[in-house]
Structure formats: structure tokens, C-alpha cells
Amino acid sequence: MNTLRQWFAEDTEAHDEYYSQPVPFHKRLGFKDPALIWAGFAIAYVCAVIGGTVQTGLGMPNAIYAILLGNFTLFIYSSLIAYISGKWGLNFPLMVKAVFGAKGAIVPTLILAFLVTGWYAFQTWLTADILRAAFNLEPTTGLVVITILIGIVYAIPTVLGVKSMSKYMQIALPGMIIFALYYLFVKVIPAGSDILSRPGSGEMAFMTGVALTWSTFVVSGTMTGDIVRFTKNGAQAVGVTAVAFLLANSIFMLLGAFISAAINNPDVEYFFDSSSIFVVFPLVIVAFLSNGSTCDACLYNATMGFTNSFHGFTWRSAAVFGMAIGLIAAATGLIGNIVNFLILLGLLVPPIGGAIIADYYFIKKGRYFEPDQAMPLNWAAIISVIAGVIAGYYVNAAYPNFLFGVAGIAVTFVAYLLLCSLFGSGSNRQHVPTSEREEKTKAATIER
């Protein structure tokens, strides 16, 4: 018992993942490891499934256009946040503190932590549901137990830290490449050029398809600092973001759209159109590995939020806390409706990112970004985000063909700049660098 207590209480540099301070420059990993983690995060079975959902609703070639537009929009939005994190070595909660203040940051940090825990739960539930579909399992207590075991396995790399996640990605990525090649040569290419004009159900508006694409990673795109802070500078962080969305996520969503068009049967679940064990079993293994590479990154984002919000939480205890919440949601199927969940993400998350972008680039003009220089509560940021959420909700209800997440960002952005010009920016002192801060943000110092 004492050993277990000590394991949870241990809070060395190796395990706290720098959740309460910028990553020192000499601890930065450079481009490769963060890019590998983000690529494994974005090259996910669920991305192919969502791409297939967009194709089923829109048909071809509109599904292609929607996926590309959604990912490009996501890249622009996320790269603006990623640059800040890569330059200053800040995780998402520290960036939120720099904008909203130490007290004001608690609510938005926890909102995103719980939402991204929902993604971890969904991926766990999805893996169990893939097993059900592949092997015709009944939704019994045994399947619930399997779901819980899957979630525990998926949480292990997060508990051990970012380097363990990178090693896991090296195992998962080859599996996803095999998955892509199999469907490309067995389904997509033999289907010929006809799939480029394959009609959909017509039940989905074009911008809904864009919104589904955008919402898939809008939470983790907003929290991208948790990963890209390990790059050497802002330019590398933007490069990692390009790998994530312009390459990895776009390619796999497009692959899912092409597979769906080639199968051309909306009743086929998770692309399992063959009953052969020699086909189904390898695909289940690939899905397991792929969903795990997304799960651990989602739980990593959530853990970063919990450690910064709950006093006394170490990295390991926060990871287990997030895992427990996720397992409850996954085992009960609470998070099974992906479309409604994505709409919720698109409403709540983008305005928070909009406030961060407005504060750094227009209020602070890129000169500094430190959590300890903000007032305890920045009402301008909080009011602006609330306005952005309300605007996004209204646009989604009144104008379903418009990307409501972008509307939320725009309203937050304008409202924040206006409120700051009228009542102040929420910064309580000028930036005075110390030798310790200069060491921790050496990359930023070099860029200035």
C-alpha cells in the first residue's frame, strides 16, 4: 500500500511532464517526436469512419471538398495556437492562465479537460463496438468488461509520459499504413473512377460535413500546446500542426470517404464488408492499435488540464482520474452519439482558442506570454468567450450551412479586442524577464 501511495505521489520532472511550468529549452524534443505523436493521433481509425460518414451524407466529390476545407480551417486555427506554445514552451492550461488569469482559467481548462476525456471515452467505446460488429458479440456484461480493459490498456502510455506515447506511435503507425494499403488496393482502386461521382444520401448539408471534419480535432487542436511545446520553436510547432492536419488527418479522412464510396452500402459497419476471419481479425488489430494512439493523446490533454485545475494532483493521479471518468462514460455508452458530441465540441471549444489568439497576437503583440503576469480574473476574456458560444449556437440553429465554430471564434475575437480597448487587457505588470525565465523560454528569446 505504501509503495502504491508513493507511486502516485511521485512528482519528479520525468513524471510531471512540466504541467506547471514552461518546458526548459534543453528538455525540448525538437520536431520528430511531437510530429510522430500528432501523426499517430490524427491517423486514426475513427478519422476514416468519420470520413465515411461525410461521404455517406454528401456523396462524391462534395465529401472530398468538405474534408479538405475542414482540415485546412483546422490547420490555420490550430497553428496560430501552436506557434505560441512552441515559442514559449507552454502547455494549454498555462496559455489559458496567461489570458484568463489564474482563477479565470479554471473553468475553460476543466471544460476542455472533460471534453477531451469524452474523446478518450468515445475511442474506448468505439474499439469495443468494433469488436462487437466484427465478431457479432451481444451487448452483455462481458462486453462492458472488455470495454474497461481496453480503456485501461489505452491509458498506460499517458501515465508513463510523452516519451512512452512516442514509442507506442511507432507500433501503431505501421498498422495504419497496412490498413490504408489494404483498402486502397482491394477496394478503392478496383472500384475505378466511378467512386468519384458516387452519390450520397443527401441528408447532410455541405457545411455540416465541414463541421464534422473540423470538430473531430478542434479540442485537441486548441490544446495542441500540450504536445508541440516540446518543439524547439514556433516554426517547428506550426510544422508539426501541418503534419497533423494537412497530411495525416486529411489523408485518413479522404481514405475513409473513398472506402465508403467503394463499398457503397451504408449498412456496413466500420468497413467490415467481409466475414472472412483472415480479413476481419487483422482489421480489428489495426483498429485497436489506431484507437489506442488517439486515446492516449486525448487522455494526455485531459491529464494536463486536471493537474493544473485540482490542487494536489500529481501527473499519475490525474491520469488515473481521467481514465476512471472515461471508463464510466465508455462502459455505459454515454458518449456513443458522435454527431451530437462533435456539435457540442464545435460550440464550446473554438471561442476559447479565439480569445488566446486575440490576446497574444493583438493585445500582447507577440512580445510576451507568461501565466504569472495576468490578473487573477480577466473578465474581458470570459465575457468574450460566452458571447462566442452564444453566437455559435445561434448560427448553428439559424444558418446550418455556415461553419458555426468559425462564427464563435470571430465573435470572441472581436468582442475581446473591443472589451480590452475599453477596460484594459488584464495584464497587471510589464514583462520583466529573469534568468530563470530566459532559460525556460530560450527558444522564444532566440526568435525575438
- Amino acid identity, position 447: E
| pLDDT band for position 443 (cuts 50, 70, 90) | very low
Rounded CA separation 149/156 (Å): 11
Q: Which residue has the cell 475542414?
A: 70
Which of 92, 70, 114, 111 has its CA nearest to residue 385?
Answer: 111
CA distances from 187 to 47, 173, 176, 181, 264 (A): 18, 21, 16, 10, 11
User: How do the domains of the chain map onto residue ranges?
Assistant: 29-336
Q: Which residue has the higher pLDDT, 288 or 1?
A: 288
Rounded CA separation 105/130 (Å): 37
Q: Which residue has the higher pLDDT, 351 or 18?
A: 351
DSSP assignment, residue 364? S
Which of 325, 285, 291, 286 has its CA nearest to residue 305?
Answer: 325
Question: Selecting from 1.10.4160.10, 1.10.10.60, 3.30.420.40, 3.40.50.300, what CATH number does the domain 29-336 have?
Answer: 1.10.4160.10
3-state secondary structure of 374: strand
- The overall average pLDDT reported for the chain is 81
Grid coordinates standing for 182?
Answer: 489494404
Rounded CA separation 297/47 (Å): 15
pLDDT at 386: 94
| pLDDT band for position 4 (cuts 50, 70, 90) | very low
The pTM score is 0.82
pLDDT at 447: 47
CB-based burial, 106-145: b 16+ in 10 Å, e otherwise: bebbbbbbbbbbbbbbbbbbbbbbbbbbbeeeeeeeebbe
> Is residue 299 within 8 Å of residue 121, measured between CB atoms?
no
**How long, in residues, is the chain?**
448
Which of 293, 263, 36 has its CA nearest to residue 175?
Answer: 293
Q: In this predicted model, what pLDDT tens digit does every residue of 355-407 receive, in sequence order?
A: 999 999 998 887 766 666 557 788 999 999 999 999 988 988 888 777 778 89
End-to-end Cα, the chain, rounded Å: 50
> Is residue 228 within 8 Å of residue 86, measured between CB atoms?
yes
**Picking from 34-43, 223-232, 257-266, which range would have the lowest pLDDT averaged per residue?**
34-43
pLDDT at 17: 66
**Picking from 36-40, 79-83, 145-149, which range would have the lowest pLDDT averaged per residue?**
36-40
- Amino acid identity, position 336: G
